[in-house]
Structure 1
Amino acid sequence: MYRRVLHRSLCTATTTSSEASTTSIKTISRDLYKESNFTRLVEKFKKASELERFRTKSGIYEDTVRRLASAKRFSCVRDILDHQKKYPDIDNEGFCSRIITLYGKSRMYRHARKLFDEMSQRNCTRTVLSFNALLAAYLHSRKFDSVQTLFKELPKELSVEPDLVSYNILIKALCETGSFDSGLEMLEEMEKKGVNPDSITFNTLLDGLYAKGRFEDGERLWVSMRGKGIAPDIRTCNSRLMGMAFEKKTKEAVEFLEEMKKDGVEPDVFSFNALIKGFVNEGNLEGAKKWFGEIGKSEFDPHKVTYATLIPFLCEKGDLKTAHEVSKDIFNHKLRVDGSLLQLVVDKLVAESMVSEAEEIVELGKTNKYCRYKLNLAGAEGAEEAEEKKSE
């Protein structure tokens, strides 16, 4: 009986301690999220880092570093990441790799490389894990040539073999520099090394090929991907749809969209955007309007790219009534767009003596709580006078 009571007491104590620890970390996380003063944020983060459990929370680290980097407070990023070196975790490759990656996401590649080099001084083993973290740090920092150099030199120095992640990072760097042929050559090298490409590999290459007008190369790679049994996902399909749009193959694009659905890949707003772009490229007003309408029938809202593609085309074709309605739709969806897009509509409306419609857009721009636009009605008075003369 005594043992059962003691067991329950110990279990309760352990559970209570665990719950308290969890609650403590949640409280700390909320406090860091709410802290708007970056100096205090850094101090609170460093204090929280004393807790071993806190140091396992990669999400909190990523969120805090992202906030500081977005505000261009790179000295603060360096302060909290350098602070991590005082803890025993820094002798662990996994923890080191996390910090290297965080430096990279802040485009602080020199600090990432410094920490990577310090690992050997701490007798911290460097495997393909930390190698990939360093490659990614240079990729995020847009040092694409350096990614290629590191890929060539470091494996020999570290006695490691690049894996799928390594090749995917390299291929991304090559595509960013427009070296698509080199990226395709990496596929051949991967096969020789026994590294099987995945959907990320193909998505990266297909994105670049289709976007840069290398449609036939993209189609060959598409066939190769399917031949390897890799099923296309929505990103892959959208790349192909956009490739068809650039090639003015809207009929084929619409047919492909139906094929996607049959294969269980549901289109998203970017799929619809690709079709709208295709019809715009072909000068087909009704087709572009039809697929804009399809977005309204779906579970998705239009994207700012949707409006940037459709509105100038509507103005060009003289369909100002629709341009007026679509412009109002921007405010309904609380989207931020380039003010020049709305000004284009206002100017066109004024030029066609649709002054009241133009005034409505200008007023919406002034009173919109989400994002205010400084639009002007230049020429509106002249348009009104011209309209009055016509009526006389």
Structure 2
Amino acid sequence: MTTISRFFRTFSTSATKSPVKSFYNDLYKERNLRTVVDNFKKLSESHLFRKQANVYDNTVRRLTAAKKHKWVEEILEDQKQYDDVSKEGFAVRLISLYGKSGMFDHARKLFDEMPERNCKQTVKSFNALLGARVNAKKFDGFEKFFKELPEKISVKPDIVSYNTAIKAFCEAGSFELAGSMFDEIRYNGLEPDLITFNTLLIGFYGNGRFLDGERFWDKLMNNDISPDIRTYNARLVGLVSVNKLNEAVELFEKLGSRNLKPDEFGYNAIIIGFCNNSDVEEAKKWYTKLVESDCVPNKATFATLIRFACKMCDFDWAVELFKQVLEQKCVVDPNVTQLVIDGLVKESRTEEAKKLVEIGKSSKFRRYNLIVASEE
């Protein structure tokens, strides 16, 4: 029985509590993307299937990752034949998916088609279009777009709209505009929320604008909003960026008293600080703390530490980190892991370098195209 026929038969069986679970597995295991597209279009004939937002999202992500934008267009344009597209929620889904694929022009076209499909444009679909523009990195003309479109379609931006605009300006490096959006929020009768502050703090602290970050940190502390772990991580990054490492460590150690559990991003910020200070002992200590916690080192952790270990000529540690990367199946830039191979060769440890190359080549995902260059 084919995936298609089994799917429709399963949906017609009322005793089945999770009718799409086996279908998900079949679709995701299908390696031929053309077949995935064909099956997706056929399955879309079922109104029950069209309710499965997750499978839409995952399928589009997969096609986008494979740079099959024509096929993304094919499956999303195919959805317009169904009455669901006259419902704002379904239209919003398609607009958002186009944005995640970097296809903003298609998202805008669908948004503009909504009235002729008897689908009212509200702030919900406006926000989806804003988000699509941000995801597609279409920042040119964003301010004009944000100010003129709501008036044209008679909607009033809400806090989600402003948060999206702030994110756009931060990602575009237009920090003055991001700050002005914050001022407009209260001017227009709204209140900033935690997402507003987190977006600003991540934008400012993460881009070397420490004083601006501190200004919004103080505003948050004077607001009736409880910071979360992302808020504190943003400030940790900021403190480390201006070499206020002692303050960063103090802030990190206070997280427990605030009922917040540190994550790998917070550990990474502290580790980067000690690496910047060339403090091998502390960098190793904080990496050990990370490993002993419930957190999992990510590619940023390994990239930072491997570069640092090689810089400090601590190749025993670099080799250990290299092996942990493979054990944890972590995707790290091959140029980073190549540093370990090159360092071992320079240290006349060529045989050990060759063994690491073989380990990398035989790893399950074969991600590392490593070579052992001549010592000369």
TM-score by length of 2: 0.90
Residues 20-29 or 184-193, more deviating = 20-29
Unaligned runs of 5+ in 1: 1-15, 383-392
- 1:232 Cα shift? 1.6
Q: Distance in 2 between matches of 1:308 and 1:206?
A: 24
What is the aligned counterpart of 1:237 among 211, 232, 240?
A: 232
SS state of the match for residue 254, structure 2? helix
CA 1:323 to 1:129, structure 2 compared with 1: closer, same or farther past 3 Å? same
User: Does residue 40 of structure 2 align to residue 42 of structure 1?
Assistant: no
Report if the CA contact (8 A) 1:145-1:173 is conserved: no
Unaligned runs of 5+ in 2: 1-10
User: Does residue 108 of structure 2 align to residue 108 of structure 1?
Assistant: no
User: Does residue 69 of structure 2 align to residue 66 of structure 1?
Assistant: no
Q: Distance in 1 between matches of 2:217 and 2:34?
A: 50
1:1-392 matches, within 5 Å, as 19=14, 24-379=19-374
- 1:328 Cα shift? 2.5
Report if the CA contact (8 A) 1:68-1:77 is conserved: yes
Q: Where do 4+ consecutive residues of structure 1 move more than 6 Å?
A: none
Report if the CA contact (8 A) 1:104-1:140 is conserved: yes
Deviations 1:93-131 (A, max 9, x none): 222111111111111111111111111222321111111
Deviations 1:241-272 (A, max 9, x none): 11111111111111101111210111111111
How many matched pairs? 366
Report if the CA contact (8 A) 1:103-1:109 is conserved: yes
Residues 128-137 or 144-153, more deviating = 144-153
- 1:153 Cα shift? 0.9
- 1:71 Cα shift? 1.6
CA 1:86 to 1:291, structure 2 compared with 1: closer, same or farther past 3 Å? same
- What is residue 7 of structure 1 aligned with on the other side? none
Question: Larger Rg: 1 or 2?
Answer: 1
Sequence identity (%): 48
Q: Distance in 2 between matches of 1:355 and 1:253?
A: 40
Aligned CA-pair RMSD? 2.2
Q: Distance in 1 between matches of 2:22 and 2:298?
A: 36
Report if the CA contact (8 A) 2:267-2:286 is conserved: yes
Letter of the 1:203 counterpart: N
